[in-house]
Amino acid sequence: MKQLVKSLSFAWLLVLPSLGVAAGPTASHPALAPATLPAATPPAKEDKGDGAITGKIVETMNSGGYTYVNLEKNGKKTWVAAAESRVKVGQEASCPSGMKMDNFTSKTLKRTFESIVFCNSPLETVGGKMDAAQKSPGSKGAKVASAEAIKVEKANGANAYTVGDIYKNKSRLDKKTIVVRGKVVKVSSGIMNKNWIHLQDGTGSQKKGTHNLVVTSQDLPSVGDVVTMQGTLYKDKDFGSGYKYDVIVEKATIQK
């Protein structure tokens, strides 16, 4: 079981939908950890198939922060679900092996799937290319642009930095504890059993993408909140599958 949790902990990164806030795990949409699966749902099991599930998309829909896709290959159809992304019927897509669930009911779709696999990473079109909607919050193409002018005062303390300063000093600050204060402009909850928070304080360059800082946390602020967060900074964090962050702050907590 520990090995299963470890293998699934890498699942579900970013992107996350570029519009709005992605839904977190609910009774109808489990996060990829057995402990958080719906109580009434049959136990999930890791797919022991020979690699990725690949096929042509014959049916697809988005709901609750997930993209559901029916893949057909050699006359066999397989339902899979992954972090919400932009795909369409007729595309060839691939889903890594993940958690297979039988008789899974999606309350938001009001539909029961006889069998479905929750992928361990976002869907990819065959060939490995992803469109802009599938890029992670840390990729250049998925930075959050705020429609309003944001100005937030810098936090106090020796380890406090503005968002712009964090990008400028990322090499020196790598793997060090930092404190940052900013306005929450986007939250994606329950991905990889943590919440992904976008902070902006009015510093940095929107053109260069250094105005938006992604922070992971077990705390869950609301969009519009101004918060002070403390966590460990990492530079050039690469999660694979094209998901790379110039800067990310992990295991952060909201400071009271």
Q: pLDDT tens digit string along 95-136?
A: 876 788 899 888 888 899 999 998 877 777 764 444 434 444
145: pLDDT confidence band, cut at 50, 70 and 90? low
Sorted by where each starts, the structural domains of the chain and their CATH numbers stand as: 2-131 (2.40.50), 140-254 (2.40.50.140)
pTM: 0.52
Residues 129-155 as b/e (b if ≥16 CB within 10 A, e otherwise) read ebeebbbbbbbeebbbeeeeebebebb
Cα–Cα dist 137/144, whole Å:
8
CB 46 within 8 A of CB 37: no
- Quick one: average pLDDT of 14-18? 37
- The residues facing 198 across adjacent strands are 186, 214
Q: Is the pLDDT of residue 79 over 60?
A: yes
Cα–Cα dist 164/168, whole Å:
6
